[in-house]
Amino acid sequence: MKRAFLLFLTACVFLVPLSRAHVGSPDVFYEGMAGPYRLFVTVRTPPMVPGIAEVEVRALDGNVTDIRIVPLRAVGEGSEYAPPSDRMERSQADAQYFTGKLWLMASGAWQVRMEVFGSQGKGETAVPVPAAARRTLRMQKNTGAILLGLMFLLVTSLIAIFGAAARESQLEPGAAPSTPQRRRGRIAMALTAAALVAVLFLGNMWWDAAASGRADLMMYKPPPVEVSLQNTNDLVLKMGFSSWHDRRKEMLLNKIIPDHGHLMHLFLIGLPNLDRFYHLHPDQTAADTFAERLPAVSAGDYAVFADIVRESGFPDTMTARMTLPDVPGNPPASDDSEAIVTYLSEASDARQPATGLTLPDHSRWEWVRNGQTIHARQPMLLRFRIFDKDGKPASDLEPYMGMGGHLVIVKRDLTVFAHVHPSGSMPMAALMLLEKEPAGAGKEMAAMHEAPMPPEVTFPYGFPDSGDYRLFVQVKRNGSVQTVAFDTHVYP
């Protein structure tokens, strides 16, 4: 009991002030089929809701001539009957690149439904899009300057009017004000100026309070989470109350549903070097509590990222930091995995393209970069190839939780975290909610268990900010989960 108590005291937890699912990475990236056409879709969600989402589509296969898009609720009321669709604009420079804009009128789980037309007929697909206000927008400088000028004109006019009234209101026409009258005018102007300053100050205080209260109602905040270590190696996560979710119960934001087989995906990432990585799957022990029997974990500081998906398909990523002692335990089992990064990509400078690495078992990974420099907000396919110890394409890959692989992207300063799959950055649970028949992603996942896995895995993504990143790539080989780490620098 004494040892357990000491361990509990050692597990110090501090909440990290990060925001929304896929922390700091609000855009949605999707690669999949729309009938006979393979598409790479990017949805740039608006920072405020209502707001305009920007949609970009690149046709990867087939000759696409027209795309029509429409926003709908993901589930429930408003998810069935679509308003008239909008036609996307086809690029003059690239005939297979299309752009469009859609209004998202409320926070919650949405879908962008697409009709695709081309040489092979018509195809359809839908992309899940979580919409939530993330920040307040600053007033445009020109508008602010105009309003400031109008306020200055109004204030000076009121001061002049009250001064003139006190100084000249009782004078006969054409008479000059006396010295006492001029003094009375100056006093009136000073009192008016003081009153107006007080009104502006108190009005600004009221405005700030009203804006703060409004922001509290509108700005998305993930549920807080308390993380503690109990009984030597039992990690307990207790979700706190979220007023944002509570005010939107009708949007199906309460119940948690499985995402590729698990109610929670928990990531522990060692600090400050991001050299320890644990991908775990706690069990739900109460409506707001999850617990996980830890494998052997080395002592140190950890960033905690806990992914869940609501029954509407809306995702949350809860964040915390904690300090752990040396935790005894068994190796990870089932879908749980761990990695201690003792090898790095074969580029010593993270600002240079990192193209490959050799593992201790002499197998080799390649990140197919082709010398490409990565820039922020640039949609791209992150492609990784795996070779066995003889230099041949690996033939022992297996589905890992129903998909070809997992990619976890972490910015060095922890302002960006993303859990990405070969189909995209959205949760698989959200994608499956939109499947109306056994096609698309569902069909691909079923076929994955029957066909041999290729020695290559691809993830659609776009880095939201410039800076240094670490990428943890996970696949399953011959019954074991293999995790490798690549470093890269993203330019503005």
**pLDDT digits 0-9 by tens, 323-347:** 999 999 999 989 999 999 876 554 4
pTM of the model: 0.84
d(CA 74, CA 108) in angstroms, rounded, equals 9
Beta-ladder partners of 285: none
Looking at domain 28-131, does it have CATH number 2.60.40.1220? yes
Query: DSSP 3-state assignment of 294?
Result: coil
pLDDT at residue number 224: 95
- Top-level CATH class of 341-492? mainly beta
Domain-by-domain residue ranges, the chain?
A: 1-23+223-336, 28-131, 141-170+177-218, 341-492
Q: Is-same-fold flag (1-23+223-336; 341-492)?
A: yes
d(CA 222, CA 239) in angstroms, rounded, equals 10
Instruction: Render pLDDT for 242-299 as a digit per residue (tens, 0 to 9).
Output: 888 888 887 877 899 999 899 999 999 999 999 999 999 999 999 999 999 999 999 9
pLDDT at residue number 176: 86
Residues of the chain scoring pLDDT < 50 = 1-20, 346-351, 353, 437-448
Instruction: Render pLDDT for 353-407 as a digit per residue (tens, 0 to 9).
Output: 457 888 888 899 999 988 889 999 999 999 999 999 999 999 999 999 999 999 9
1-23+223-336: CATH architecture: Sandwich (2.60)
d(CA 469, CA 51) in angstroms, rounded, equals 30
Classify burial at 490, counting beta carbons within 10 Å of its beta carbon; exposed 0-12, middle 13-18, buried 19 or more: buried
**Per-residue DSSP letters for 100-145?**
EEEEE-SSEEEEEEEEEEETTEEEEEEEEEEE-B-SPPPPPHHHHH
